[in-house]
Amino acid sequence: MSLSLWTNVQTTSHLSLNFGYHRTMSHPHLPRRSFLASTVAGSLLLPGIVSQLLADSGDPLAPRQPHFPAKAKNVIFLFMTGGVSHVDTFDPKPELTKQHGKEIKANHPEIKDRPGYERIYLKRPQWEFQPHGQCGTEVSTLFPHIATCVDDIALIRSMHTSHSNHYNATLGMHTGSFNFSRPSIGSWITYGLGTLNRNLPGFVVIAPAQTYAGTQVYASDFLPGAHQGTLVVPGAEPIANVRPRVPLDQQQLELAALQEINAEHFAARQDDAQLLARLQTFETAFGMQMAVPDAFDFATETAETLNSYGLAADQKSGFGWQCLAARRLIERGVRFVELIDVGSSNNWDAHGDMMTHVPLAKNVDQPIAALIKDLKARGLFDETLIVWTTEFGRTPFNNTADAPGREHHPWAFSSWLAGAGVKGGTVHGSTDEIGLWTADKPVHVRDFHATILHLMGFDHHRLAYRHAGLDFRLTGVEPAHVVQEILA
């Protein structure tokens, strides 16, 4: 017996498939499946070991109510890997242009003690800024398409973070922890809300390559394995080994035999959370055989829609593909979708030359604007929270006056939110006249996370998980505040 689905799941990365399970129809304590009921009724694990366990111990992916009525039902998290320069994109600094080439005293300990920064010189923005929309928010010419959406965007110009290394800052932006492995924000949200479609993961990450901190940016860590993110790699086969290798009836026989083996194996290991997550994987994998090809089949999209995202009819990659895939996943009930623009070998880390921002901005600008407008046209904008961020900014100075690049800058950068519960056309906070420090209404990554959770209906103090004798939260133990001024 080939046990084809079992083989397919086992040969696929453990990190990319521990996401959950669907409900079965035959157990009296569990409601009817909605997505594949007519097609695969009476098939996988009926009554299955996982279903029996859920009847006894609760269902970690069942839809749940948040702490208070939420503005947003789901999240699309746009992560720009490498550190986008705030002074060249969303934070205009005319004074920096005037003082270009001026040597400034490195009188702050964090700058003075940094190797190579004994003498530093201001470096002007390399792109012009213009006001846009009715709100008049200024955006640089790097993002002409996003600039048309500023009336829908709440721009935070006073972001700051706690680390200047890519790995740590990326880890912090995703997990709230800058040094230790912790659950991702996507895992926290699916832990708090459950999922709406048992045949798709509740948390999906679409990326052509891993970013800094690797799989930890979508790991569930000590949360149940069902809340771990599923990696989708753009291409002809976004999720490997989903399509069945044998006819459905043969697969059902194989899985029935596998169920008996699993039941016997689990009977002696009922406290093994990883084993339960593995069994849940088989159930979701079965449902995904139909749900995944449908979600990533753009054949039903109009030529106008494809063109708005900058996509050719048969295109299977690119950030436009990622954005359109995100919209389709959100439509199908996926709670949290993260889009990573590029891998760590080709990103916004512009030490050598700021002009590398040009192709990177062109890669994401039109698709992001198209996503916002598409969600609005389909009535999804008011229930979807769109988050745009990077891990830190880039210095408004360098160690020579004519240096073409910029260095890592954790003390100030820009991020923005749009969609459900967000007050569009607003700008929150500011940096000083040269973009060196946050000057007004600073927003730490913890505050950013608290605000996202608030829009999803959670008090960040109360969304906690007890592990190793401690109550862990996404926002940690240091003070964190919801940025009320950007809420509608």
pLDDT tens, residue by residue, 436-456: 999 999 999 999 999 999 999
150, 133 Cβ separation under 8 angstroms:
yes
Can you identify the CATH homologous superfamily of domain 74-236+296-486? Alkaline Phosphatase, subunit A (3.40.720.10)
The whole model's pTM is what?
A: 0.85
pLDDT given at position 58: 54
- pLDDT score, position 279: 67
pLDDT exceeding 70 applies to what percent of the chain? 80
Residue type, 219: A
pLDDT at 280: 65
CA atoms within 13 A on the CB side of 291: 25
Tokens of 256: 């029935």
State the average pLDDT over residues 61-79: 94
Structure tokens at 111: 């700058």
> CA 196 to CA 198: how far, in whole Å?
6
Helices vs. strands in the chain: H and E counts, helices first? 14, 20
Query: In this predicted model, which residue has the larger pLDDT, 16 or 427?
Result: 427
Provide the pLDDT for residue 14: 30
More confident residue, 272 or 196: 196
Domain residue ranges of the chain, discontinuous segments joined by +: 4-59+247-289, 74-236+296-486
Listed residue (481, 403, 361, 374) closest to 121, CA to CA: 403
Distance between CA 223 and CA 463 in Å, rounded? 12
| Res 47 pLDDT > 60 | no
* Mean per-residue pLDDT, 252-275: 74
pLDDT score recorded for residue 291: 84
One-letter amino acid for residue 305 of the chain: T
pLDDT digits (tens, 9 = 90+) for 153-188: 999 999 999 999 999 999 999 999 999 999 999 999
Contact assessment for residue 193 and residue 385, using Cβ atoms and an 8 Å cutoff: no
Is 145 within 8 Å of 89 (Cβ atoms)?
A: no
Select from 472, 308, 398 the least CA-distant residue to 102.
398
pLDDT in tens, 384-403: 999 999 999 999 999 888 89
Cα-to-chain-centroid distance, residue 209: 14
